[in-house]
Structure 1
Amino acid sequence: MISSNDFRPGVTIVLDGAVWRVVEFLHVKPGKGSAFVRTKLKNSASGSVIERTFRAGETVPQANLEKSTMQHTYKEGDDYVFMDMESYEESRLSAKQIGDRVKYIKEGMEVNVVRWDEQILEVELPNTVVLEITQTDPGLKGDTATGGTKPATVETGAMVMVPLFITTGERIRIDTRTDSYQGRE
Structure 2
Amino acid sequence: MPKINGNEIRPGYTLEHDGGLWVAVKVNHVKPGKGGAFAQVEMKNLRNGSKLNERFRSEDKVERTRLEQKDQQFLYENDGMLVVMDMESFEQVELPSDLLGERRPFLQDGMTVTIEYYGDEALNMALPQKVTCKIVETEPVVKGQTAANSFKPAILDNGVRVLVPPFVGTDEDIIVNTETFEYMERA
Q: Same fold (TM over 0.5)?
A: yes
CA RMSD of aligned residues (A): 2.1
> What aligned pairs does 1:135-174 form with structure 2 within 5 A after superposition?
135-144=137-146, 146=148, 148-174=150-176
Do the aligned residues in 2 keep the contact of 1:150 with 1:164 (CA within 8 Å)? yes
Aligned to 2:44: 42
Please give the alpha-carbon distance, in whole angstroms, between the structure 2 residues aligned to 1:95 and 1:135. Answer: 27
Please give the alpha-carbon distance, in whole angstroms, between the structure 1 residues aligned to 2:155 and 2:141. Answer: 15
Percent identical among aligned pairs is 37
Segments ≥4 residues shifted beyond 6 Å: none
Aligned to 2:107: 105
Please give the alpha-carbon distance, in whole angstroms, between the structure 2 residues aligned to 1:26 and 1:138. Answer: 48
> What aligned pairs does 1:31-70 form with structure 2 within 5 A after superposition?
32-70=34-72
Please give the alpha-carbon distance, in whole angstroms, between the structure 2 residues aligned to 1:19 and 1:103. Answer: 27
Please give the alpha-carbon distance, in whole angstroms, between the structure 2 residues aligned to 1:33 and 1:148. Answer: 52
Structure 1: unaligned runs, 5 residues or longer: none
Please give the alpha-carbon distance, in whole angstroms, between the structure 1 residues aligned to 2:34 and 2:80. Answer: 57
Please give the alpha-carbon distance, in whole angstroms, between the structure 2 residues aligned to 1:147 and 1:5. Answer: 43
Structure 2: unaligned runs, 5 residues or longer: none
Instruction: Please report the TM-score for the alignment, with normalisation by the length of structure 1.
Output: 0.87
Q: CA deviation at 1:131?
A: 1.4
Q: CA deviation at 1:48?
A: 3.2
Instruction: Please report the TM-score for the alignment, with normalisation by the length of structure 2.
Output: 0.86
Do the aligned residues in 1 keep the contact of 2:7 with 2:56 (CA within 8 Å)? no
Give the counterpart letter for 2:14 in structure 1. Answer: T
Aligned to 1:115: 117
1:86-113 C-alpha deviation (Å, 9 max, x unpaired): 2211122232122111011111211111
Q: CA deviation at 1:147?
A: 6.4
